[in-house]
Amino acid sequence: MAADILARHMRQRGEDVFMLTGTDEHGEPIAQAAEAAGISPQELVDRNAPKFEDLVGRVDSTHDFFIRTTDQGHIEKVQELVTRVKDNGYVYQGLYEGWYCPRCADFKNENEIGPGDTCLIHEIPLLREKEENWFFKLSAFQEKLEQLYEENPEMVKPDFRRNEALSFIRGGLRDVSLSRSQLSWGVPLPWDSDQVMYVWFDALSNYYSALGYAREGEDLTGRYWPASWHILAKDILKFHAVYWPAFLMAAGLEPPQRMFIHGYLLMGRRRCRSRSGTYSILSR
């Protein structure tokens, strides 16, 4: 709703606006939920995606496209992006060993682990993971990201979130897994079909991929990229404000211009289970 208000405001000012929302449909929690329900992951997401689309309809949202990360157009664009990143020399094969939260779909650093090896956000036990997979050379972007933040002081709002992201970057960036081998519900790597893309790189790419196929026979990428705003909740700051600009730069593309980070919608004292919208408004 906040994104929709912003989109309406921009249109009133005469700007050319494209607003995107949608559903992130890959990853472990979805595969597990499908298994528990005795159906395939595809059946599960086909059953649930229309509910979310109805919901944005009910608040009279003026989004221009509703993306599903299981769309063929998205999958193809993600494969194209990751191939560019690999061709540019930012992908290598290695062994991952460490702590992982399946709900966050996040590999945790030492300072992100709660008492008894638990997730600080979900308060569930973390899994000890050890697997051969492909890595993204995030460490190569330490200086480039610091420079990006310096040159674009308005990129991450509010300021205390910008400081949080920047201190994460300054704390030293380690390479991150780009793929998973023990999971089949995801976008296959174009050069290694035994592995699927780590769900965050797949999901984040939606902001870019949608422009390639939202209008049949028309590519909107040149008109609307880079996005002028991404709107997201605080728990996914690191992915948006650190991983995503680095991944785009690795593909030779421009990072989004600005992102706004909001807090949680609470029920009682707990956050709502659903992840707050990863809306993107793209405008010139």
Q: Which listed residue (113, 121, 140, 253) binds Zn ion by CB under 5 A?
A: 121
Distance CA 121, CA 123 (A): 6
Within residues 122-151, the interface with Zn ion by CB under 5 A covers 122
DSSP code of 243? I
Instruction: Name the segment binding Zn ion (CB under 5 A); options: 104-112, 158-166, 245-253, 260-268.
Output: 104-112
Selected range binding Zn ion among 30-38, 120-128, 166-174, 206-214, rule: CB under 5 A: 120-128
Count CA within 13 A, CB hemisphere, residue 260: 11
Q: Which of 119, 233, 248, 281 binds Zn ion (CB under 5 A)?
A: 119
Phi/psi at 16 (5° precision): -85, 110
Element (H, E) at 237: helix 237-238
Binding of residue 113 to Zn ion (CB under 5 A) = no
Which is nearer to Zn ion, 119 or 211 (by Cβ)? 119
Q: How far is the CB of 34 from Zn ion (least distance, A)?
A: 20
- The answer to whether residue 101 forms part of the interface with Zn ion (CB under 5 A) is yes
Residues with Cβ < 8 Å from 108, sequence gap 6 or more? 98, 99, 100, 101, 119, 126
Q: In the block, which residue shows the tokens 């979900």?
A: 122
The strand pair at 229-233 and 259-262 is best described as: parallel
* 104 sits near Zn ion (criterion: CB under 5 A): yes
* Count, residues near Zn ion per rule CB under 5 A: 6
- Decide: is 237 part of the binding site for Zn ion (CB under 5 A): no
CB of 256 to Zn ion, least distance (A): 24
Closest separation in Å from C-beta 255 to Zn ion: 26
Give the span between the Cα atoms of 35 and 32, in whole angstroms.
5
For binding to Zn ion (CB under 5 A), which residues are involved?
101, 103-104, 119, 121-122
